[in-house]
Amino acid sequence: MSAPQSNKIPVQQVDLDATKHRVHPRFVTGFYQNIRVITMYALLAAFLLLPWLRYNGRQAIWLDVPSQHYYIFGMTFLTQDFYFIAAFAIIAAFTLFMVTVYAGRVWCGYACPQTIWTHLFQYVEKWVIGDRNKRIKFDKEPMSATKVFKRFLIYFIWFVFSMITATTFVSYVSGTDALYNSWQMIGFIPFPDWATWIWVSIFIFAFSTYVNAGYMREQMCIQICPYGRFQSVMFDKDTLVVSYDYERGEPRGARKKGTNPENLGDCIECQMCVQVCPTGIDIRDGLQVACIQCAACVDACNEIMDKVGYPRGLIRYTTERQLAEKEKSRVFRPRFFAYLILLTILCGGVLYALNDRVPLEIDIRRDRNQLSSLNQQGMIENSYIVKLTNKTQDAHTYKITLAPQEGLSLEIRFKDVPLDAGESFDMPVSIYGDPDVIEFGQTPVTLNVSSEDGKYHVSKQNVFTTQGQ
Ligand code: SF4
Ligand code: SF4
């Protein structure tokens, strides 16, 4: 922004403990805060409830890392399907870039977990102590039984929230059944019977939540978060940002109610925009890395403007082109289209791959000890291990057959291979070759696998060799 004071970016303190200069934001209501609170609590509810959702009798989203099976709404992914996860991550990153080009740090202000949990933890302080002024006063009060009790209550509620967050997070990996139905009795007391990795993960996530939302807060956004740092590179003159209309507001100054002195701008210096800011900055100093674009200052200032009878929008969502150059912003610009085209191609590719994907996997490994051998009937034998994986959500029985080829026959230990949903099985198979019919050297062979209902079918090639006897 080209406001004259935009270069007054406050010197950031490299101190990750936000309690030393704790920000006590005033809770504000208004158009943007309503959107923000609804979005934040909807996302929070989705995070807490999704592990409980069932699809075909199984946890709908279950990233079962220990067994390397990842279940997402009826689809089973294995580690070898990792390219899907990579593709989803790339799509998420480009969506974020595209949204940032258009709407700035809307992710930070409305959807980032750090913002949501910090808001939640600050709300606990408000509930126990009171709004901003009471919290500031409370911090300065000498230690007393009431102060100790209120502090303990806040820490206890934070601890409960952190534990709920950690167990929910881990339940996406361990599964809700393993997490909430595993109990053992220690004496007369029921105690969770969890694997070590679950205990360690819950401790790490609970500790991180408690420290991030309770202590680090805005310091996380200012000092650590890489997105906060590089988002300015993605901004251009047409990116929406929360800005103070310097020309309209300055010179700022207090005035008597109902007056509009000619020597003053519209900013009445009430400090409300600073008091509601969750990161404790003054938007009137210009665009700053600590501004998470939450628009709390927009709502607060609009409320003040209403009260003093001035037009709304002294602080507003605008663009540099509109505010400084007094020109119309361009929504559809080359960078926006570049991201859109890239995203369309990526999403199309992933949808095509998902649609084309057969939820049955076959992998053929040769017996490494011996390339081929002669059996008592004088036939050349090649041995393989066929690994079958049922990637559907239901049990199926599969049949393995050899694509017809003169002089070659298949011997298999089991005619039918029943597999549960997500189950894998290593099946030893042998292919026999008639030395009078097949050519010396290597012959391509194809194994076919079909489900009993004929719904799923895959084929895989390998070679039959006459060498190594
Ligand atoms: S809330 Fe508006 S009027 Fe009050 S200090 Fe901030 S910019 Fe000025
Ligand atoms: S300056 Fe305004 S938009 Fe930026 S973080 Fe503070 S309250 Fe939110």
Ligand 1 atom at minimum distance from 272 CA:
1
Distance 253 CA to ligand 2 centre (A): 21
SS3 readout for 110-168: HCCHHHHHHHHHHHHHHHHCCCHHHHHHHHHCCCCHHHHHHHHHHHHHHHHHHHHHHHH
Taking CA atoms only, the protein residue closest to ligand 1 atom 2 is 301
Give yes or no for a contact between 173 and 59, defined as CB atoms under 8 angstroms apart. no
How far CA 105 is from CA of 230, 300, 353, in Å, comes to 11, 19, 32
Judged against a pLDDT cut of 50, whether residue 106 lies above it is answered with: yes
Distance between CA atoms of residues 59 and 71, nearest Å: 8
Residue-wise pLDDT tens digits, 126-149: 999 999 999 999 999 999 999 999
Q: b or e along 32-51 (b: 16 or more beta carbons within 10 Å of the residue's beta carbon)?
A: bbeebeeebeeebeeeeeeb
Instruction: Name beta bridge partners: 185.
Output: 190
* Residue 239 pLDDT greater than 50, yes or no: yes
- Predicted confidence band of residue 19 (pLDDT cuts 50, 70, 90): low
Report the C-alpha gap between 37 and 295 in whole angstroms.
Answer: 12
Strands 315-318 and 241-244: antiparallel
Ligand 1 pocket, Cβ-based, cut-off 6 angstroms: 244, 249, 252, 267-273, 284, 300-301, 304, 314-315
Query: Which residue reads 């102590």 in tokens?
Result: 129
Among 17-21, 146-150, 230-234, the minimum mean pLDDT is found in 17-21
Give the model's pLDDT for residue 50.
96
Pick the more confident residue, 369 or 127: 127
* pLDDT > 50? residue 250: yes
Helix/strand/coil for 408? strand
- Domain regions of the chain by residue span: 1-357, 360-465
Nearest one of 379, 372, 366 to 428, comparing CA atoms: 366
By percentage, how much of the chain surpasses pLDDT 70? 95
| Most confident of the ranges 69-78, 255-264, 347-356 | 347-356
Structure confidence at residue 20 as a pLDDT band (50, 70, 90): low
Could you tell me the pLDDT band of residue 393, with boundaries at 50, 70 and 90?
Answer: confident
Q: Which amino acid is present at 122?
A: Q
Nearest CA to ligand 1 atom 6: 273
Write the single-letter amino acid at 290: A
Predicted confidence (pLDDT) at residue 358 exceeds the cutoff of 90: no
Q: Which residue has the higher pLDDT, 423 or 409?
A: 409
Mean pLDDT across 119-123:
94
Task: Please report the pLDDT score of residue 229 as a whole number.
Answer: 75
C-alpha 196: how far from its chain's center? 25
pLDDT at 466: 87
Q: What is the pLDDT of residues 158-200, one digit of tens each?
A: 999 999 999 999 999 999 998 988 888 888 888 888 889 999 9
398 token code pair: 């599969």
Atom of ligand 1 minimally distant from the CA of 269:
5
Nearest CA to ligand 2 atom 2: 297
For residue 297, count CB atoms less than 10 angstroms from its CB and return exposed for 0-12, middle for 13-18, buried for 19 or more: buried
The mean pLDDT of 277-286, rounded to a whole number, is 90
pLDDT band with cut points at 50, 70 and 90 for residue 6: very low
Report the C-alpha gap between 251 and 261 in whole angstroms: 11
Give me the pLDDT at residue 5, please.
44
Q: For residue 10, what are the contacts with CB-CB under 8 A and spacing of at least 6? A: 281, 285, 288, 290
- Pick from 291, 298, 303, 315 the residue to mutate for probing ligand 2's pocket: most ligand atoms within 8 Å of its CB: 291
Specify the range with the lowest mean pLDDT, choosing from 105-109, 234-238, 417-421, 456-460. 234-238
The answer to whether residues 27 and 131 touch, using CB atoms and an 8 Å cutoff, is yes
Q: What is the pLDDT of residue 334?
A: 84
Domain 360-465 class in CATH: mainly beta
- Average pLDDT of the residues in 31-57: 94
| Spatial CA neighbour of 243 closest among 160, 361, 324 | 324
From the CA of 236, how far away is ligand 1's center (Å)? 26
Ligand 1 atom 4: the closest Cα is on which residue?
270
Paired tokens of 195: 């694997």
List strands edge to edge, sheet with 416-419. Answer: 416-419, 396-402, 442-451, 457-465
Mean pLDDT of 295-308: 95
Q: What is the mean pLDDT of residues 381-397?
A: 89
CA of 273 to the centre of ligand 2 (A): 8
The per-residue pLDDT for 446 is 94
> What pLDDT was estimated at residue 16?
52
Which 8-state DSSP code applies to residue 404?
Answer: P
Q: In whole angstroms, what is the distance from residue 87 CA to residue 79 CA?
A: 14
Phi, psi of 461 (to 5 degrees): -100, 150
Q: Report which protein residue has its CA nearest ligand 2's atom 4.
A: 291
Identify the pLDDT of residue 190. 84
Task: Calculate the average pLDDT of the chain.
Answer: 88
The token pair that represents 38 in the structure block: 């609804």
The pLDDT-based confidence of 439 (bands split at 50, 70, 90) is confident
